[in-house]
A = this chain, B = another copy of it.
């Protein structure tokens, strides 16, 4: 009987930060070794951060990453960890073609002992790996105390055959899979089912380590886990926070001890936390400590402000109320209540004097006059951003973004857009969930996000309602003309969001949508609005992807496009 103890080092890296990432790898390797782990497994492209996109083409970057991997191997040995096997990801170079490789390395005994290059390169959805990497085609096994460990990188287990198929033929005692698998609703279960299937094919346990944290428009949820050779869950790490999990492999099979299994999250909590983590990491990695945004009293800005307070504490949130002549008293009161509940800065900047100054000069009417109000607000928000070095947040939701129901350079200004992948109906659901969480007095469980020790970072746990109920229940309005309602221009959101899900996520065309049971008038309205807004979406800020298909690099449609079916 041989036993090998593994650590799953689920960490949050930063793209390009070779020093910082190497430092964190050292810390986790030490901690894991102290806890008795012989093999410490990190996520895909740990050292470089992930995804590196076209940074892969910079030769100085590949050289620096390679030097850093060798430095790490030496440093681990000189700090007494030469016995440990440290499995991590980095960028390599294929010497024949001089092309970049997505590489896994095993550091042991002071050297890079083993290297494996990712075989299947994802080139769909948000992934462009066929663009930047050359594929490896050699399966790799390394031994620890006579135990045969196969390795794979993320996509390698999502497709049949390849190097993992080769490992199944050869026979291994365990498969170690390092991953950079971005979050989307429901993906946890998909990953688990896939891993269980592969484990059965391999007749060996499978250890799956995923990275955690935000990188531009992607959020990595962690949720690392281990399944045994029957596909049963042995271990699961928590989602949305750094963690070190452990599992012991016992080669007398059927004898695997179950380790800590983190509980499932509520689906609303999961999505909410993904948005908060995306924002939090964007701020941390781009050196912002505070945010500013317009507070209209509506649900979108209320949810974004609440997420921001959860990401960086209310005291770092600047909410600016910018009432116009068409703003209702209720809206102004709701904005003030929200800021008070969050402990956020609250400033009032009326739009009317500025609007009048423009109108004396320009005399605008109709949509031009409506947009003017929104653009004055955009200028004010950016003035706060410039003056106080704050990250400006855009508050648009996915339904709005889809239909172009926003003013470019107006309410669309910002460096980050936390809810851009949430349909309006989902915005309401998350707002209600956030209030329930506050009312139940729970310290908003999974919100204990990143922070090396897994503890809460700069967040106050509040009791009672956070988001004013009125912001949730009132009919949505842009308040750019008297009595305006979203439903004047758009189908009701309950219907609109269903059409959008089919048209956008499933690429259903007109005939398909009619077959889905939607009426022709609604279908034609929605398709026309979505198609015409493509140019605006291209200029919209980044925001976290949380669904199967987000706007941005996930959906690449031409702006110039005459097809209407």
Decide if A509 touches B386 in the complex (CB within 8 Å).
no
Tell me whether A15 and B57 are in contact in the complex, defined as CB-CB below 8 angstroms, given that A123-B131, A357-B353, A364-B383 are known contacts: no
Point out the residues of chain B lying under 8 angstroms from A378, CB to CB.
375, 409
Q: How far is the CA of A15 from the CA of B556 in the complex (A)?
A: 14
Task: Please choose the segment from A47-55, A239-247, A262-270 that sits at the chain B interface, where 4 or more of its residues have CB less than 8 A away.
Answer: A47-55
Copies of this chain present in the complex amount to 2
Decide if A361 touches B387 in the complex (CB within 8 Å).
no
- CB of A2 within 8 A of chain B? no
26 contacts between A and B (CB under 8 A): A14-B560, A15-B563, A17-B563, A49-B562, A55-B563, A57-B507, A216-B558, A216-B560, A282-B560, A285-B562, A357-B357, A358-B379, A358-B383, A362-B383, A364-B383, A364-B386, A368-B386, A371-B383, A371-B386, A372-B379, A372-B383, A375-B379, A378-B409, A382-B408, A415-B535, A542-B559
Q: How far is the CA of A542 from the CA of B560 in the complex (A)?
A: 11
Query: Shortest Cβ distance from A347 into chain B, in angstroms?
Result: 10
Q: Which of A375-394 contact B (CB under 8 A)?
A: 375-376, 378-380, 382-383, 386-387
Decide if A387 touches B413 in the complex (CB within 8 Å).
no
Point out the residues of chain B lying under 8 angstroms from A379, CB to CB.
358, 372, 375-376, 379, 409
Point out the residues of chain B lying under 8 angstroms from A415, CB to CB.
535
Tell me whether A562 and B15 are in contact in the complex, defined as CB-CB below 8 angstroms, given that A367-B386, A383-B372 are known contacts: yes
Q: How far is the CA of A33 from the CA of B357 in the complex (A)?
A: 64
Q: Which residue of B lies closest to A124 (CB)?
A: B131
Q: Which of B55, B58, B131, B362 contacts A349 (CB 8 A)?
A: B362
Q: Which of B387, B409, B558 contacts A55 (CB 8 A)?
A: B558
- CB of A538 within 8 A of chain B? yes
Decide if A55 touches B557 in the complex (CB within 8 Å).
yes
Decide if B509 touches A61 in the complex (CB within 8 Å).
yes
Decide if B509 touches A60 in the complex (CB within 8 Å).
yes
Q: How far is the CA of A415 from the CA of B404 in the complex (A)?
A: 14
Q: Which residue of B lies closest to A51 (CB)?
A: B558
- CB of A250 within 8 A of chain B? no
Decide if A371 touches B364 in the complex (CB within 8 Å).
no
Point out the residues of chain B lying under 8 angstroms from A413, CB to CB.
408-409
- CB of A565 within 8 A of chain B? yes
